[in-house]
Each structure stands twice: as C-alpha cells, then as structure tokens.
Amino acid sequence: MVTRLLHRCGLELGPESDLMAPQADNPEGFWEHLGFVALNDKLLAALGGAWDLPPRPDESFTGPQLNPLRLKARLLIEGFAPASVWGWKDPRNSLTLPFWQDLLPGLRTLIVVRNPLEVAHSMRERNGTSYSFALRLWEIYNRRLVEVANEKDRLVTRYDAFFEDTESELRKILQFADLKDTELRNAAGLVSTRRRHTHFTIDDLIDADVSAEVIELYRSLIAEASPTKTRVAKATSRRDTSSETDLLPGSVSRVNTFVPERLAQIEHLYGELLSQAEARHRVEIEKLKAQIEEISAHYTGEVKQLRDRIMQINELLRARSISLAENESRAQDLQNRLRKQLQATKRLSRILDDASNAAAQLRSSLRWQIANPVAALKAKISPKKSKDLLGYGHLEKAISSYEKWRVAHSEITAIDDEIQSLLSGIASAPERHSATTTAGTASAFAPPVPTRPIEFPVHKQVDVSIVIPVFNQFHFTQACLGSIQENQGAERFEVIVVDDCSTDATPEAISQLPGVIYLRNETNSGFIAACNRGAEKARGKYLVFLNNDTLVKAGWLKALLDTFAEQPGTGIVGAKLLYPDGRLQEAGGIIWQDASGWNYGKFDDPQKPEYNYLREVDYCSAAALMIPKALFESVGGFDASYAPAYYEDTDLAFKVRQAGYKVLYQPLSEVIHYEGATGGTDLSIGTKKHQDINRSR
C-alpha cells in the first residue's frame, strides 16, 4: 500500500510490465519490480540461502562469486537513470541491503513497521507458514535491517499510522525521499480502512505468547517511528544512576529466566526447519527416482532396438562381403578373358596389316602383271572382283567370317562392355545376370526402419517447405521421413507429402503422422503434377523437392539454405547424390549437344576433390534440389508437357538460368538415393520410357 502511495506522488518504480501482477489476495498489486525480486533470490541462493532461509549474519557480500550479479544489478540501476527519484520494494532487501549499499552510495531506506502477528497471519494465509517460524523470520528481517541501515539514511514509519493520519505520515516520507507533495491529498484518498484485513496490538502479542525479544524489537521500532522518540530518548538519558542500579538485578533475573526458554525455542525452530528441508528433499528424491525409472525404461527399449539394428547391419555386411568376393572372382575372370581377347585381336591386326602390305606390293609388281596379264586387265575392268583376281580375296572372306562369328556370339558385346567398366575401375556384372544382381542389391540395401515414431514440429511460420511426391513404396517413404526427423537442425521447415493415388499402406499410415501435411491425388497424375501441387500448398520461402526413395544426411538442409545466403544470384542448389553402397551417383548434371544427360562422377569415389567444391552445373536432379518459391512460380514450375516425369528438372534449370540465376551443385549437402526404386530402370516400360521421349523435346 505504501509503495502505491509513493508511486502516486512521483516515485519511479519502472515500467508497469516489469512489476509483479496483482493477485486475488492482493488486488491492488504488490508494486514489486520483478527484476529486483529475481536478483535478490539469486543473490540469496549464491550465499546458500533463500527468503525463508536467511544467510549468516556475518555473511560477506563482497566476494568475487557475486560479480556476475553485480553486473546484472548495475544494468537494472542504469534503467532508472532518467528518473530523478526512484526506488523499489522487496522484503528481501532486509537480508541483502549491504549488497545494494555498495552499489548505491547514499541509499535511503524506508522501513514500514507492521505488527509481527499481522505479518505471521498474512504468511500463514498465503504460504501456509507456521506462526512460530513466521515470527522468527520477522525478527531476523527487522533486526538485520536496523543493524545495517544507519539512522541518518533510514526512516521508520508505522503501518498503523496510515490508517490514523494518512496525510501527516505520507508528508513525512515525501520530505525524507525529496518528493514533492503536489499529489499528497489525492494519494491519501486512496487509503481505505475497509481494506484492512487484520489488526493486532501489543497486548495481542503478549496474549499470544510471542517471545519477549520480538516484542521488545517491535516496541523499539515503534518508538523510533514515533514523533516523541527524541524526547523519550532524552528523558531516558537523565535517569538516576541509583535507579539503574536498582533495576539491574531484576534485568539479570529476567535474562536468566529467559535464556532456557529461548534455547528451547531455537531448538524447536531448528527442528521445524530441518523437517521442512527433509520433506522437500524427500519429494525431490521421489521425483528423481521416477525420472530415472522413466529414462531407464526409455533407453532400455532403445538399446534393444540398437542391438537388433546392429544384428541387421552385421547380416548386411556378411551378405555384402559375399557379394564383393563374388564380384572379385568375376572381375578376375573378366580380366583373364580380356587378356586373351586382346592377344587374339593383336594377332589378327598384325595379320591384316601384313596382308594389306603384301596385296599392295603385289598390285604394284610389274612381274605379276606380266605373268598374269588377263587377271590384271579384269581387275581394272571389274574393281569388285579385283580382290579375288589380284590374289587376296581370301582375306576379305576371312574378315566376313569373323564378323558373322561375332554376330553369332552375342556375349562378346557384353564382354566388351564389362571390359570398359573394368578399365574405369568398376566391375559390373554381365548383362545376363542383371536381374539377379539388381534383386541382390535391393535386398542388401533395403531402406532402414525408423527407430522411433515419426513426428515433426508445427511452426506458425516456416523458411523451407520440403515437398515429397510418392506413389506406393511406403517403406521408402517411411525411411525418408525418418531420416529427415533424425537429421533436423534449427531450420524451421514443414514436410508436405503428395500421395499420387497410392494403393499400398501409404494413405493410412502417412496421413496419421503428426506434423506431416498430407495431400492425396484422386487419380495417378504423375511426378510433375504431384510436385507442382505440393509447391502450391507450400508456405516456405524456399522449396525443396525430395524423392521418397532418399535418405538425407546430417546438415543437408542447412548446407542448401546457406548457399542462397552466401551466393547472391543463386536460383537452384542441388545436393550430392550417393548410392546406398557409398558410391557417387551424381555431382551435378551435364547436358550434351544432342540433349542427352549424364550424371557427373557416376560410380566414382565421392571423396575425390573434383566432386567436393561448390560450382555451377548444367542442371541438378529433382531427387534433391532447393529453389525459392517465388522463382519457381515465376518460371512456371515444372513444365506439364514433360509429364509424367523425366527431364523436367533439366527444363527447370535452363529456365532459371535464362531468367538470370545460377544453378549450383553443393557437395556439403549429401543425400542417399535408391535410384530406380520408384520409377524403375527399364527404359522401355512404365514412367521410365518417358526419359527417352522427353530428351528429344
């Protein structure tokens, strides 16, 4: 109440938003600055205490451990620099006053004395504090206060006086605080006796068996607040020496009687404090036990999942080792066949060269022409038969027979292809085993099953919208979403799954995932239509088109997003695509003059330097690329004429480049791509056949 009156008279307390809000038991407000309250709490905690556990009387407030709090205190004080007179209210100041006196030389302290029973009653109603403990706190708070605040810089006022003569009491405080009294009458009108809930007297203190020390302290504070305190002090000083001598034995007797009682009270209060502390500790221990049990149960399940996953990986490694051994054996066999074929080719080449030289010499031989004039003449007349006539037609027959043999043995072509793969460092299986190899690879590199439920946070505003078009292949979609969840950073994004009329478990499972925006096409419209629909619903500034047969790696999204911030004029950024076995699938795309495309670095080591720097490329695969939504819309999105799929990403890259933007490959963003898992690899059937069709556009 007193702080409210002083605020009305011009005392600056800080912004209203920084003051403690009113409550049901105090509708007029506490008028306490939350910053000072919080700092006092931290200060007491740093000294090993609290508001209900005062620090030792001889506690030092100058230690270096309080330096961070001093800095915060100075910042609070600087906020009041514009005010001519300012202050703050907090009962904890009674315990921390030395700290504030060091920071504010000349600090004035207003002590509002209230009957101890009223304070104890209020604490019991508000906090459930016992009367004995509350009275002990009242004594400690007020005794510490009068010991630290000297008489020159303090003013003691009675709480009761504001209900007896408000204007007089308030005028005395305004003079002490150097505040003007222009609002004195208006401020005094705010006091209402009806608002007072409790009122106790000194007789009530005696009847309630309150300790003599508490009563004596209360009386001394009231005496200091009384206008007649000076006169009383002088009268006391003029007492007769003999009277003092007469009173001394009685005082000693009272002290001797009081000491045992006081010790018993102290022991009782100590036991009460100890019981309260033990109760708090028991509650905290129970909470910690519950948390430990919960964490233990959680991690026990995770450990089991990890063990199962390790067993799966070991099985995959064993299968992979067997596959590698078979590939090594096959590669050795191919090398031996290559060596034999090269030797045969060299012999045949030498024979052809020798025969050609011999035929040339024979044709130019005058002796042969003289010996065979008729054959020479026929050779000139009939060039087609000249080879037989000139004696080396059998060589042409031999070559013709060799070519027919090549046609009859089609596996030679496959061997040639395998030789080229070996020369480039890649041992691929023979064509006649392609079906077996493809099936084996798919089995060895099946998409991982997420180890925890998939869910994504929902943001009011997002920076990136990840659009994932899907058609069936639920397990790939599930693995893709799981990898995004496991590798998410601080970027605010949303996940949009566009279901192109799937017929497997996709509709039921994906639509139930928290945080996933699920869109479903009523008919199968193709990859391009699904991407464009997802882009229309996106809220992010940037779009990421991501195939559902992908697994993203740590930092993938941040690397794409940072590229736009660090490289002005960027229109598209594509990720480094890897095969599940770790080989490079694409480090940016190349478009040749005949419009055919090539994945740069395909099958090579992804760690080579030539694949690990930011650079411009012809195009980036739509399996994992980022583009600003505004730019995507301005160039018309993915061209529907390329439907259902293929070469739409190439067309987009060329349109973006034509609009004046760069198409960049970012190697720091790595994405595993199960190429062909959804679209297949056969160019003659399904969606894949459109790859050759769209290339000709």
Distance CA 500, CA 487 (A): 26
Average pLDDT, rounded, for the chain: 81
| Any domain includes 379 | no
pLDDT category at 98 given cuts 50, 70, 90 is very high
| Any domain includes 126 | no
Distance CA 470, CA 332 (A): 41
- Residue 283 and residue 358 in one domain: yes
Total domains present in the chain: 2
Q: Give the lowest-confidence range in 12-21, 233-242, 541-550.
A: 233-242
- Residue 472 and residue 439 in one domain: no
Distance CA 97, CA 109 (A): 9
**Tens of pLDDT along 22-44?**
887 777 778 889 999 999 999 99
pLDDT category at 682 given cuts 50, 70, 90 is very low
Distance CA 650, CA 622 (A): 9
| Any domain includes 122 | no
- Residue 600 and residue 662 in one domain: yes
Mean pLDDT of 403-419: 57
Mean pLDDT of 671-689: 61
- Residue 432 and residue 473 in one domain: no
In the DSSP assignment, the letter for residue 449 is P
- Residue 472 and residue 432 in one domain: no
Distance CA 399, CA 165 (A): 131
- Residue 505 and residue 627 in one domain: yes
| Any domain includes 593 | yes
The type of residue at 668 is L
Mean pLDDT of 470-488: 97
The pLDDT score that the predictor gives to residue 417 is 54
The type of residue at 246 is D
Query: Using H for helix, E for strand and C for coil, what is the string for 292-342?
Result: HHHHHHHHHHHHHHHHHHHHHHHHHHHHHHHHHHHHHHHHHHHHHHHHHHH
| Any domain includes 15 | no
Mean pLDDT of 245-269: 54
Distance CA 466, CA 493 (A): 7
- Residue 427 and residue 498 in one domain: no
Identify the helix (H) or strand (E) that includes residue 112: strand 109-113
> Above 90 in pLDDT, residue 275?
no
List phi, psi (to 5°) of 340: -65, -40
List phi, psi (to 5°) of 92: -65, -20
**Tens of pLDDT along 637-667?**
999 888 655 678 899 999 999 999 999 999 9
More confident residue, 425 or 180: 180
> Above 80 in pLDDT, residue 602?
yes
| Full domain range(s) for residue 631 | 464-695
pLDDT category at 529 given cuts 50, 70, 90 is very high
More confident residue, 685 or 674: 674
The pLDDT score that the predictor gives to residue 197 is 63
Q: Give the lowest-confidence range in 152-166, 368-382, 573-587.
A: 368-382
Judged by DSSP in three states, 452 sits in coil
- Residue 416 and residue 533 in one domain: no
Total residues belonging to the chain: 697
| Any domain includes 635 | yes
The pLDDT score that the predictor gives to residue 423 is 47
| Domain CATH number, residue 657 | 3.90.550.10
The pLDDT score that the predictor gives to residue 429 is 39
Q: Give the lowest-confidence range in 122-136, 167-181, 415-429, 669-683.
A: 415-429
Q: 533 and 640 in contact (C-beta within 8 Å)? A: no
| Any domain includes 35 | no
CA contacts within 13 A on the Cβ side of 332: 5
Distance CA 524, CA 445 (A): 28
| Any domain includes 212 | no
Q: Where are the beta strands (DSSP E) in 500-541?
A: 516-520
Q: 498 and 530 in contact (C-beta within 8 Å)? A: yes
**Tens of pLDDT along 485-502?**
999 999 999 999 999 999
Helix axes 131-148, 241-364, angle to 10 degrees: 90
Most confident segment among 122-126, 360-364, 432-436, 523-527: 523-527
> Above 60 in pLDDT, residue 319?
yes
- Residue 496 and residue 417 in one domain: no
Q: Give the lowest-confidence range in 277-286, 308-317, 364-373.
A: 364-373
Most confident segment among 133-137, 194-198, 225-229, 409-413: 133-137
- Residue 435 and residue 487 in one domain: no
The pLDDT score that the predictor gives to residue 67 is 92
The pLDDT score that the predictor gives to residue 187 is 74
Token pair of 689, please?
């056949």
More confident residue, 26 or 111: 111
The pLDDT score that the predictor gives to residue 456 is 97
List phi, psi (to 5°) of 686: 60, -155
Mean pLDDT of 663-680: 85
Identify the helix (H) or strand (E) that includes residue 493: strand 493-499
- Residue 518 and residue 631 in one domain: yes
> pLDDT > 90: what percent of the chain?
43
Q: What is the pTM of this model?
A: 0.40
- Residue 329 and residue 437 in one domain: yes
pLDDT category at 446 given cuts 50, 70, 90 is confident
